Amino acid sequence: MTSSPACNTYMPLLSPYIDGELVPGERISVERHLAACKDCTMRVADLRAESGLLRVGMELAADQADFKDFAQKVMARITPDRPPLFERWKLALSETFLYQRGTVVTAFAGAAVMLLVALPLILRERPPVGYAGERMLVQSVTVDDEAHVAPVVLETSAGNAIVWGVHHLDEAKPAVAPEDEATDEELEQEAAPASPDDTKLKQDKPKGGEL
């Protein structure tokens, strides 16, 4: 195929034309020529097709490559001998804050929220001291032989019972108050119906033990 002198002039401009690298004056001139020249219009179509074909063809070729270990291999080739431990820690710490700042902030925020939620729960769950405690150990039980004692039984929803020995102020039969009323209050038994009979109390003097 032969080309006209005008085509020979414009042909070298067609390549920069499809690349958008012509100055506006040249571009307008080329476009005027293209409007009048079917051959150069086909040349432009060829150049564009070739350009796209090369691009896609090379992308297809690169798609077949596996880059999974590529960066690791490069890093292995450039990594110097291991620096001292302190330097490694320092670098690891600075890199963590540099590249995983978001993760670090999120982790700290999460930990703070968890602490705020968990702390009151932990404090609330702590078993209270005294009668409300789940378990308590009775060290000793002392009953004054002369005391006139009446039991008060408090049953709990858990099936336990708290038994108080109450000094009954009976005018007809004045009793001798126990030396230490608080000692009576230590008398706590698990689901054990206490006998109101103080004679029994006298006979079966309770021993200390775990409730």
Q: Which residues contribute to the site for another protein (CB under 8 A)?
A: 1-3, 11-12, 14-16, 19, 21, 39, 42-62, 64-65, 67, 70-71, 73-75, 77-79, 91, 94-95, 98-99
Of 73 and 124, the one with the shorter C-beta distance to another protein is 73
Nearest to 167 by CA among 143, 194, 149: 149
The residues with which 154 forms a beta bridge, in sequence order, are 162
The distance of closest approach from Cβ of residue 28 to another protein in the complex, given in angstroms and rounded to an integer, is: 18
Cβ contact 172:161 at 8 Å: no
Q: Is 199 helix (H, G, I), strand (E, B) or coil?
A: helix
C-alpha R_g of the chain: 48
The distance of closest approach from Cβ of residue 49 to another protein in the complex, given in angstroms and rounded to an integer, is: 4
Of 69 and 125, the one with the shorter C-beta distance to another protein is 69
Of 74 and 112, the one with the shorter C-beta distance to another protein is 74
Phi, psi angles (nearest 5°) of residue 166: -105, 130
The distance of closest approach from Cβ of residue 85 to another protein in the complex, given in angstroms and rounded to an integer, is: 16
The distance of closest approach from Cβ of residue 158 to another protein in the complex, given in angstroms and rounded to an integer, is: 59
Cβ contact 133:168 at 8 Å: no
Of 14 and 149, the one with the shorter C-beta distance to another protein is 14
The CB density around residue 16, as the number of other CB atoms within 10 Å, is 14
